[in-house]
Amino acid sequence: MQNLENGFIIKQVDFKDNDKILTIFTKKGKLSVIAKGAKSGKRANLLDLANYIEFQTIKSKGLDIITTISMRNSFHLSKDKSSLYIFYPLEVISKIDRVDQDESQLFDLLNFTLSNLYKNQDLYISLFNIKTLLYEGLLSDFTNCFVCLKPLEVDIQNISSMMGISHFGCDLREYNVRGYPISIDTVKLLRYIKDLDLKAPHLGFDIKETVLKEILLFSTNLLESSFDIKLLSKNYIL
């Protein structure tokens, strides 16, 4: 018997007649385990996606097998469309490759995101995108153009977003493509979220709907292209 561990169920696939293979995200990283009798019986509802569980495993020839399991928290929102947002951060974590890293930061970010998602889905998914990129070292500072590196304030009416935030013209020169225009309010929110302390977050102010849609679209596209992944759950949120 191994030690008690805590983690989020981020993926599950059917296995044999009545078992499932779960991917669980812990502070030490992702692990795959077999949950026997997972499709029926009293265990079944403990194993929903996004559940925060405490569990123990035993070694087997193949994947480790879950023995005890108990619920610490469950994050399912109401039955409307907003509940689909939950699948997005789970899919991101299941698809980004990180080997032998301490995952405490990303673990706390997932917990923070799932705990707050009911308040404002567009805002907290954007925050999840931006902090994930930041922790991976994939984020520019949004103060300077990511192509020419000169300050963005010089020509604030003409900001373009593609692989980052740039001047209009710089994107065309570098990539032969025009990015989408993005408003200065959205850029300010990007900077604010990037620097936000998750232990003392202040996000209770009003944000315009157009800014929320812009930051969600930009941060989701940036995350996909930076990690070179395709996210199916993107269709639920955009």
Least distance (Å) between residue 142 CB and Zn ion: 13
Out of 47, 125, 145, 165, point to the residue binding Zn ion (CB under 5 A). 145
Give the interface segment with Zn ion, choosing from 7-15, 61-69, 140-148, 222-230 (CB under 5 A).
140-148
The DSSP secondary-structure symbol of 2 reads P
What tokens appear for 160 in the block?
């373009």
How many residues bind Zn ion, per CB under 5 A? 5
Smallest distance from the beta carbon of 173 to Zn ion, in angstroms? 8
Between CA 218 and CA 82 the distance in angstroms is 20
Using CB under 5 A as the binding rule, whether residue 84 contacts Zn ion is answered as: no
Residue nearest to Zn ion as judged by C-beta position = 145
Smallest Cα–Cα separation from 214: which of 192, 184, 236, 174?
184
Residues 50-69 that bind Zn ion (CB under 5 A): none
Residues 155-184 that bind Zn ion (CB under 5 A): 167, 170
Q: How far from each other are the two terminal CA atoms of the chain, in whole angstroms? A: 44
Residues 6+ apart with CB under 8 A from 123: 203, 207, 212, 215
Partner residues linked to 129 by β-bridges: none
Choice between 11 and 167, CB closer to Zn ion: 167
- Asked whether position 11 contacts Zn ion by CB under 5 A, the answer is no
The dihedral built from the CA positions of residue 9, 13, 16 and 21, taken in this order, carries a sign that is negative
Task: Kindly report the length of the chain.
Answer: 238
Q: Which of 65, 148, 198, 207 binds Zn ion (CB under 5 A)?
A: 148
User: Whose Cβ is closer to Zn ion: residue 46's or residue 148's?
Assistant: 148
Q: Report which residue type is found at 16.
A: K
To Zn ion, the closest distance from the beta carbon of 134 in angstroms equals: 22
Residues that bind Zn ion (CB under 5 A): 145, 147-148, 167, 170
